[in-house]
Amino acid sequence: MNVPVYTFPWVISPLSFEEFEKDYFEKKFIHIKRNQTEYFSPALTYSAIEDYLYNETLRFPSTRLTNAKEDVPSEKYVVGDKVVASNLLKHFVEGSTIVLSGLHEHVAGLGELVSNLSKQFYQRFQTNVYITPKGSQGFKVHYDTHDVFVLQIHGKKTWKIYKDNPVSLPNKLMEFAPGKYQVGEVEETIVAEAGDLIYIPRGIMHQAETNDDMSIHVTLGMLGYTWTDLLIESVLEFSKTNDSLRRFLPREMLRNGAKEIHQEYFAELFSTMASSISLQDSVNRFKREISASQKINIKNLLTQGDSVSGIDENSIFEMRHNVLFLIKRKGENVVLEWQGKEVEFPMFMDPAIHFIAKMKQPFKLDQVPDCVDQDGKIVFVTRLIKEGLLSTQIN
């Protein structure tokens, strides 16, 4: 199956998105073995990591160490907030794992992958790169409070997945506590080699260690919004317009306990809120947060800027496919909102805006609805290129 790189179908190939969502998502782990050691190289390579470690000023906690056998205090390798590379090397050689957080902000391919996954799932994603020396282990048995996609970049790593997981779909308030849970039997032992993928839903107990090979893997962590988040967001929004939620709790309820009258009032508040709030408004707030978290860099920025003056009827345009945006009305205008900014157009441009929003393929000016003339279309697409929503090719 040929799929475009930097996309989720590429990550889980040959599994389809529909199969993944139906059989595995939030349910059970999967190991996809490929025997293609360079499979993930478009997103991240060994040499790209070496370049980053040499060229960048490493800062804590974006660069940190972890070791399952012992704590490694940051003062052993950090001065101020700067990581001392020679100290990092020393502890790495002695068995500690180097963790690089947020590398998608520095490596273009990894950044594009994260943006595409955010749009595919409509959720936020984070990245951690784990570099573990041979014969070592970064973490003991644990579960995560977010789903992780493990991309094995270099070497091998042995993973153990456990049965009888203590918490189903834990959230951020249910962080794993060492010693709190009894570890069950091993359900499966997996040897992940370069090019392999492992998906582990939140709450599944696991651990990983190296043997005779140094290992580098990326975890794409899905920081998903849950129904709990939606309820909290809705209550907070409702409280802005209804002072009943802003009143102090009754003194007698706190002193003597909740009575039936308090329970009835509480139920009435929820009933009023449920009939008054706009679910879509709450959903749109999450969507804005996801959009704002996407990588804001523009690929080929200089080329795009230089090409604007040559736009004509033969030019080919395409939506920047990894951008998540909203369309809304604002007075007499229609507004495109993404990455924390708004771009307004007269309402008569609404057909053109919805046209480009739905286009998944490159298009030409003559395909844009005729709500304006040819010159008006050029002004329209030029503005969207300048604002970073469209890209263009000049024939």
The confidence score (pLDDT) of residue 307 equals: 86
For residues 72 and 66, is the Cβ–Cβ distance under 8 A? yes
Phi, psi of 157 (to 5 degrees): -150, 135
One of 1.10.579.10, 3.90.1150.10, 2.60.120.650, 2.30.40.10 is the CATH number of 8-223, namely 2.60.120.650
Phi, psi of 8 (to 5 degrees): -65, -40
The confidence score (pLDDT) of residue 338 equals: 84
pTM for the model: 0.89
What angle, rounded to 10 degrees, do the helices at 374-386 and 350-358 form? 60
The Cα 334–Cα 314 span in angstroms is 27
The confidence score (pLDDT) of residue 278 equals: 83
Where the chain has pLDDT below 50, the residues are none
The confidence score (pLDDT) of residue 394 equals: 56
Q: pLDDT per residue over 373-385, tens digit each?
A: 999 999 999 999 9
The confidence score (pLDDT) of residue 279 equals: 84
SS3 281: helix
Half-sphere exposure of 253 (CA within 13 A, CB side): 12
For residues 210 and 137, is the Cβ–Cβ distance under 8 A? yes
Q: pLDDT per residue over 303-335, tens digit each?
A: 888 888 889 889 999 988 778 888 999 999 999
The Cα 225–Cα 282 span in angstroms is 11
For the domain spanning 301-393, the CATH number is 3.90.930.40
Q: Where are the alpha helices (DSSP H) in 104-202?
A: 108-121
The confidence score (pLDDT) of residue 395 equals: 52
Beta strands in the chain (DSSP E): 30-32, 63-66, 78-79, 82-83, 97-101, 124-132, 147-154, 156-162, 186-193, 197-200, 206-209, 215-223, 316-319, 326-330, 333-338, 341-346, 390-393
The confidence score (pLDDT) of residue 233 equals: 87
For residues 326 and 338, is the Cβ–Cβ distance under 8 A? yes
Phi, psi of 354 (to 5 degrees): -70, -30
Burial 360-392, CB ≥16 within 10 A → b, else e: eeebebeebeebbeeeebbebbbebbeebbbbb
